[in-house]
Amino acid sequence: MQLGIVGLGRMGGNIARRLMRDGHTTVVHDRDAKAVEALTREGATGAGDLAALVKQMSTPRAVWVMLPAGEPTEQTIAQLADLLGPDDVIIDGGNTFYKDDIRRAQQLAERKLHYVDVGTSGGVWGLERGYCMMIGAEKVIFERLEPLFKTLAPGVGDIPRTRGRSGPTERAEQGYIHAGPAGAGHFVKMIHNGIEYGLMQAYAEGFDILKTKASDSLPVDQRFDLNLPEIAEVWRRGSVVTSWLLDLTADAMVEDPQLGNYSGSVSDSGEGRWTIDAAVEQAVPVPVLASALFARFRSRQQQGTYGDKVLGAMRFGFGGHVEKKGE
Amino acid sequence: MQLGIVGLGRMGGNIARRLMRDGHTTVVHDRDAKAVEALTREGATGAGDLAALVKQMSTPRAVWVMLPAGEPTEQTIAQLADLLGPDDVIIDGGNTFYKDDIRRAQQLAERKLHYVDVGTSGGVWGLERGYCMMIGAEKVIFERLEPLFKTLAPGVGDIPRTRGRSGPTERAEQGYIHAGPAGAGHFVKMIHNGIEYGLMQAYAEGFDILKTKASDSLPVDQRFDLNLPEIAEVWRRGSVVTSWLLDLTADAMVEDPQLGNYSGSVSDSGEGRWTIDAAVEQAVPVPVLASALFARFRSRQQQGTYGDKVLGAMRFGFGGHVEKKGE
Amino acid sequence: MQLGIVGLGRMGGNIARRLMRDGHTTVVHDRDAKAVEALTREGATGAGDLAALVKQMSTPRAVWVMLPAGEPTEQTIAQLADLLGPDDVIIDGGNTFYKDDIRRAQQLAERKLHYVDVGTSGGVWGLERGYCMMIGAEKVIFERLEPLFKTLAPGVGDIPRTRGRSGPTERAEQGYIHAGPAGAGHFVKMIHNGIEYGLMQAYAEGFDILKTKASDSLPVDQRFDLNLPEIAEVWRRGSVVTSWLLDLTADAMVEDPQLGNYSGSVSDSGEGRWTIDAAVEQAVPVPVLASALFARFRSRQQQGTYGDKVLGAMRFGFGGHVEKKGE
Amino acid sequence: MQLGIVGLGRMGGNIARRLMRDGHTTVVHDRDAKAVEALTREGATGAGDLAALVKQMSTPRAVWVMLPAGEPTEQTIAQLADLLGPDDVIIDGGNTFYKDDIRRAQQLAERKLHYVDVGTSGGVWGLERGYCMMIGAEKVIFERLEPLFKTLAPGVGDIPRTRGRSGPTERAEQGYIHAGPAGAGHFVKMIHNGIEYGLMQAYAEGFDILKTKASDSLPVDQRFDLNLPEIAEVWRRGSVVTSWLLDLTADAMVEDPQLGNYSGSVSDSGEGRWTIDAAVEQAVPVPVLASALFARFRSRQQQGTYGDKVLGAMRFGFGGHVEKKGE
């Protein structure tokens, strides 16, 4: 079937490619004309602006917006809403806050437009591996677009079937689900990212202890000369902590056991933060997910935060402690 | 080659079986005569006590102790030390604290005995999948015993090779490593378990938010009727959070989405606690690993800890707050 | 000077009383006529509704709204805005989210009304001790109302002066500050409450360890028969952890060392949650404040959260661990 | 009565002074002869070595060791044990790990010596304010030494009496308690310090949010130009978070609102770490106390820990994320 795609960055471009490989057609637009041109050479229909994109599509249309969350996505959806007609669909494949999805779906419904939010995991690997998708939509619209999702998803592949499942493979086993109404897709994806932060930080802390145990700063009789790339590798082999994130860690450590290419300044994105906000709103204790987020905040700070200075000032106040060099 | 095995529980028995399948011979003992008898029928040489086990082995001997950590292991090693002779090896395959390994290795060295600690992950799945092993030993002893480790380990299997690795497969790729001298094996295994707790808690918190979002206690317009088994399944398919632990979660949720067989009272073992002690000793901040351990402690407490009552008393003191029912 | 007060609960009523004791006059309203009547007997001018209250005041008026945050406050302010005239002031003394203050101030400014937010700590003790106030307002309006704040504040009292301060006492030393424009008062109060949660939880955890150390569940040779009321008392005497919260804890423990009147189910309020949201928004790591909030969430949960069951299911999956009774 | 004191640093010297002021006599030793000489001029009897100190005392003797915990204290106690006679007492006033106290008490008991551990809070302020003391000892020995403790303690002073207490003031109200047998004093002091870390970190995090809210890095319309010294001051006045630690913070902020004398590199001591170990041993969840300790660890680390680099490597692995400058 046909899909309009706005935003041809790494994600949007590869979505178009994966769809076309499987026989779907795409009408594509990007503010960078070269990106449009490149995809046109790969079989897409190019569009110089949103109006042209809409005009070249057959109804009912479905347009996938694959832009940075926030203003770029918001504005593009507003413009599309003016151009599209009854029963057309706008899909947001970005990292939008789920409450914005709910609001947009209500606003677009008043204009007889449909809204779909697709939380997508898989990033740069999606073209080959397929995209894991959590989708928020009206049921009938989800079903209308299902051929697209089926193509974009990884499919069953050679992943062993979950024990207890039988019969024909379900959507989830192919790598996409209808999570619920508008917002539900991004909600589930948000939690996915929250968990991701927690998993990553668990490995990071473990390797930090191992690294420190091998460090010159310990007395020699308390030290183990541990080989971290070997440890990451052996844990991939039948241990309880095997995971894709561990695979990636093993990759990186083979390249450079010191990870010298990385400064250790770690970004965070909206999803990690919103996960904590959601937990707070729902009164769910999430010490691990919050700690993982705070560790990222801390990783980006210069030494000597104001809070740390407050500690120093108090210690001086009650104990006359003067900070030692190298403490 | 030949291995003595003391302790024929699930782990010890399956270790014997996996070795014999690959052509090794075993001399086995357990205080439960039936366990010895059963393995004898599968080809092992049975021994009624430790002296008999030692007598039936050819030198230099290697005896694998597979008993609960603490007193049972400690006493058995002490008895073996009296029975064994120069250049013999005692292997502790249990969950021993690594500082106990270091102490034992020193004590046994004075008697010209060797000590090996094997941290083993893989548990009940080891017979079929093989055991992931982190080994602490003198280099020459590790090499002497390597044929055993090679058999017990999972081997390369069909796990994709780590990017950047080439040439013949290394030990780590087959699922076992020589982590360092005595104690290093259990140290690495300890950190493995610490990470395991963190990973598990990250998933637990994420699913808790999802479950709560679907709960009756939320106003209906803030609720999503999420299908947790589907979500666990779809994340197995190309998402960033794929892992063996997620596979197991998906298994359990297919069987019962409510997980009604589980009370939610979660045990912890020495390794998880020692990981925190090690981090504190080495001054490594481990908020996620500690939070994961504390969550287990909390899961086992009745409501109304003394600490919580202290909070209630303070709130009454400064604000006249009386606890509300159902708060 | 004259103040209108809407809401004569414990806080609002005592504010009126403390003002009248110092010679100010009040015009008061509450939906409960008896509350109005009672204060009238103490010297206030009663008003049956908001219109009557406004009518009985001289211009420029100042009306203090002392109602539960959220709808009750929001609606009352909207009604007052319709009744008041240019240059009049609405004061919100409740626990409003500071972004709501900013919004309201902007909306009221369009109607030439002024908005003041007063974060108040001191609760049930305010009538005697005075109220510690953090005030958000335009500078000129703050100064107009300052005689009221001066009366309501505790004053210098016998609290030792901060080292390094000299000259005439400043506002802060009398117990009130002009924190900044609208919203700043509630922002500072919000952080105050976030800190309060952290302080309380620090004591709670410490006493929990002490209590457990005295517990029957420990082997007798590892136990100390600690006297908690004595410990709380002695720490009031020259230790580093002296505080008002500790005083209150000592009060409660004298009454009943077991704190048997408290169930340990601990409420939290908006401020504690918003503090975490603010920290997340500003990318400030707040592990202690977040942990304290989560501990409250956890205190209100039944045993066996879904997250805990997920842990149990995983443990069964990889290790065949069956939950033990009493674990 | 008479007390021997070994170690005349700030603590030991002031203990001697406070005792002599109240009519007690002291026999003092320090490896620095000048320190001995100085105290001799203030009325103490000086001793050139431990033997001389013991010789100059009347029996039964009591010798207070006020040295750094660990080797210095351990060795001095061993030497004193050889010099002292039956029924003499050794007092450890330092920051010893409570399990070391228990071991020492047992060893000394075999030689008919008594051991007392005194956990002391109050630090540099003790000479004037008195020392808050938590004491582990046999009951009869505690009572024998009580006149000393009574003098060293702050006494009742002008601290308001705890509600519900009546009759003659108890020991705790004078600032010292008999916490239990040997080890109990340092155990209670250890928890005191654990709580202290938690309290300090709660304030630190709160002020960090306030500081950040006033920061240039925020868009101007989201910023409040908060005055932190004023906020610290006003919270001293009737708020819920009043405490001695807040007083000290207010002192420091008056001197320099930026706290520019402090680097923010914050030490930790044994007690803070042992508190976490004790909680882990007793299975008590202590998220706040642990977070506070970890924050100190983190404050001393250079940016870019190995753990943080692991996060960076994973993010690059799954998302192609390249670290941004200034992230």
Average pLDDT, chain B: 94
Measured between alpha carbons, how far is B211 from B223 in angstroms, rounded to an integer? 10
Task: Give the mean pLDDT of B51-69.
Answer: 97
C189 catalytically annotated: yes
Quote the pLDDT of residue A195: 98
The pTM assigned to this predicted structure is 0.95
Task: Give the mean pLDDT of B272-298.
Answer: 96
Catalytic choice (C189, C205, C233, C324): C189
Quote the pLDDT of residue B326: 35
List of chain C residues whose C-beta atoms are within 8 Å of the C-beta of residue A298: 285
Quote the pLDDT of residue C323: 59
Q: How confident is the model at residue B126 (pLDDT cuts 50, 70, 90)?
A: confident
Cβ D281–B273 below 8 Å, yes or no?
yes
Q: How confident is the model at residue B323 (pLDDT cuts 50, 70, 90)?
A: low
List of chain B residues whose C-beta atoms are within 8 Å of the C-beta of residue D277: 277, 280
Active site residues of D: 189, 196
Task: Give the mean pLDDT of D261-276.
Answer: 93
Q: Are strands C89-92 and C114-121 parallel, antiparallel or unpaired?
A: parallel
Cβ B174–A237 below 8 Å, yes or no?
yes
pLDDT tens digits for C171-199?
999 999 999 999 999 999 999 999 999 99
Angle, vertex CA C274, rays to CA C273 and CA C276, nearest 5: 70
Helix (H) or strand (E) holding C178: strand C176-180
**pLDDT beyond 80 at A302:** no
Does residue D108 contact residue D80 with C-beta atoms inside 8 Å?
A: no
Residue A83 neighbours by CB distance under 10 Å = 16
Residue A58 neighbours by CB distance under 10 Å = 9
Quote the pLDDT of residue A326: 36
Task: Answer whether D306 touches B (CB < 8 Å).
Answer: no
Of D221 and C119, more confident: C119
Quote the pLDDT of residue A327: 33
Task: Give the mean pLDDT of D84-110.
Answer: 97
List of chain A residues whose C-beta atoms are within 8 Å of the C-beta of residue C292: none
Q: How confident is the model at residue D327 (pLDDT cuts 50, 70, 90)?
A: very low
Task: Give the mean pLDDT of B39-46.
Answer: 97
Quote the pLDDT of residue B128: 86
- Angstrom CA distances, C284 to A210, B90, C129, D206, D303, stand at 28, 51, 34, 10, 16
DSSP, collapsed to helix, strand or coil, labels residue B309 as: helix
Task: Answer whether A304 touches C (CB < 8 Å).
Answer: no
**pLDDT beyond 80 at D5:** yes
Cβ A313–D265 below 8 Å, yes or no?
no
Which parts of chain C have pLDDT scores under 70?
322-327
pLDDT tens digits for A145-167?
999 999 999 999 999 999 999 99
**pLDDT beyond 70 at D202:** yes
**HSE-up (13 A, CA, CB side) for residue C240:** 26
DSSP, collapsed to helix, strand or coil, labels residue D32 as: coil
Three-state SS across chain A? CEEEEECCCHHHHHHHHHHHHCCCEEEEECCCHHHHHHHHHCCCEECCCHHHHHHCCCCCCEEEECCCCCHHHHHHHHHHHHHCCCCCEEEECCCCCHHHHHHHHHHHHCCCCEEEEEEEECHHHHHHHCCEEEEECCHHHHHHHHHHHHHHCCCCCCCCCCCCCCCCCCHHHHCEEEEECCCHHHHHHHHHHHHHHHHHHHHHHHHHHHHHHCCCCCCHHHCCCCCHHHHHHHHCCCCCCCEHHHHHHHHHHHHCCCCCCCCCCCCCCHHHHHHHHHHHHHCCCCHHHHHHHHHHHHHCCCCCCHHHHHHHHHHHHHHCCCCCCCC
Q: How confident is the model at residue B220 (pLDDT cuts 50, 70, 90)?
A: confident
- Strand extents, DSSP E, chain B: 2-6, 25-29, 45-46, 62-65, 89-92, 114-121, 132-136, 176-180
Active site residues of B: 189, 196
Does residue D293 contact residue A220 with C-beta atoms inside 8 Å?
A: no
Task: Give the closest residue to B118 by CA, choosing from B152, B85, B154, B86.
Answer: B152
Min distance C164 CA to chain A CA atoms (Å):
13
Task: Give the mean pLDDT of D287-308.
Answer: 92
> Subunits with at least 3 CB pairs below 8 A relative to chain A?
B, C, D
Crossing angle for the helix pair D71-83 and D98-109, nearest 10 degrees?
A: 10
Quote the pLDDT of residue C150: 97
List of chain B residues whose C-beta atoms are within 8 Å of the C-beta of residue C302: 303
Quote the pLDDT of residue D322: 63
pLDDT tens digits for A209-263?
999 999 988 888 899 999 999 999 999 999 999 999 999 999 999 999 999 999 9
- In Å, how far from its chain's centre is CA C106? 25
Does residue B305 contact residue C215 with C-beta atoms inside 8 Å?
A: no
Q: Tell which phi-psi region holds residue A5, choosing left (phi > 0), alpha (psi between -120 and 50) or beta.
A: beta
**pLDDT beyond 90 at B42:** yes
Q: Are strands C176-180 and A132-136 parallel, antiparallel or unpaired?
A: unpaired
- Angstrom CA distances, C74 to A207, B52, B78, C50, C173, stand at 51, 85, 75, 14, 32
Task: Answer whether C10 touches B (CB < 8 Å).
Answer: yes
Does residue D271 contact residue D194 with C-beta atoms inside 8 Å?
A: yes
Tokens coding A158: 């050679």
Tokens coding A165: 């499942």
Quote the pLDDT of residue B223: 95
Q: Are strands A89-92 and A62-65 parallel, antiparallel or unpaired?
A: parallel
Quote the pLDDT of residue B322: 63
Q: Look-up: residue for tokens 């041109």?
A: A37
List of chain D residues whose C-beta atoms are within 8 Å of the C-beta of residue A227: none
Task: Give the closest residue to D10 by CA, choosing from C239, C242, A318, C160.
Answer: A318
CA D23, D29, D35, D40 torsion: positive or negative? positive
Quote the pLDDT of residue B325: 38
Quote the pLDDT of residue D270: 92
Q: How confident is the model at residue A15 (pLDDT cuts 50, 70, 90)?
A: very high
Task: Answer whether A77 touches B (CB < 8 Å).
Answer: no
Quote the pLDDT of residue A122: 77
Measured between alpha carbons, how far is C211 from D278 in angstroms, rounded to an integer? 12
**HSE-up (13 A, CA, CB side) for residue D202:** 33
Percent of chain D surpassing pLDDT 90: 89
List the strands of the sheet with C114-121, edge to edge.
C45-46, C25-29, C2-6, C62-65, C89-92, C114-121, C132-136, C176-180
Which among A251, A302, A314 has the least Cβ separation from residue D200? A314
Task: Answer whether D193 touches A (CB < 8 Å).
Answer: no
Residue C112 neighbours by CB distance under 10 Å = 11
Catalytic choice (C74, C138, C146, C196): C196
Does residue A199 contact residue B241 with C-beta atoms inside 8 Å?
A: yes
Backbone angles phi, psi at C63, to 5 degrees: -120, 125
Q: What is the rounded (10 degree) CA torsion for B235, A139, A97, A124?
A: 40
> Subunits with at least 3 CB pairs below 8 A relative to chain B?
A, C, D
- In Å, how far from its chain's centre is CA D64? 17
Task: Answer whether D123 touches A (CB < 8 Å).
Answer: yes
Quote the pLDDT of residue C280: 97
Min distance C284 CA to chain A CA atoms (Å):
6
Percent of chain B surpassing pLDDT 90: 89
Min distance B230 CA to chain D CA atoms (Å):
23
Quote the pLDDT of residue D119: 97
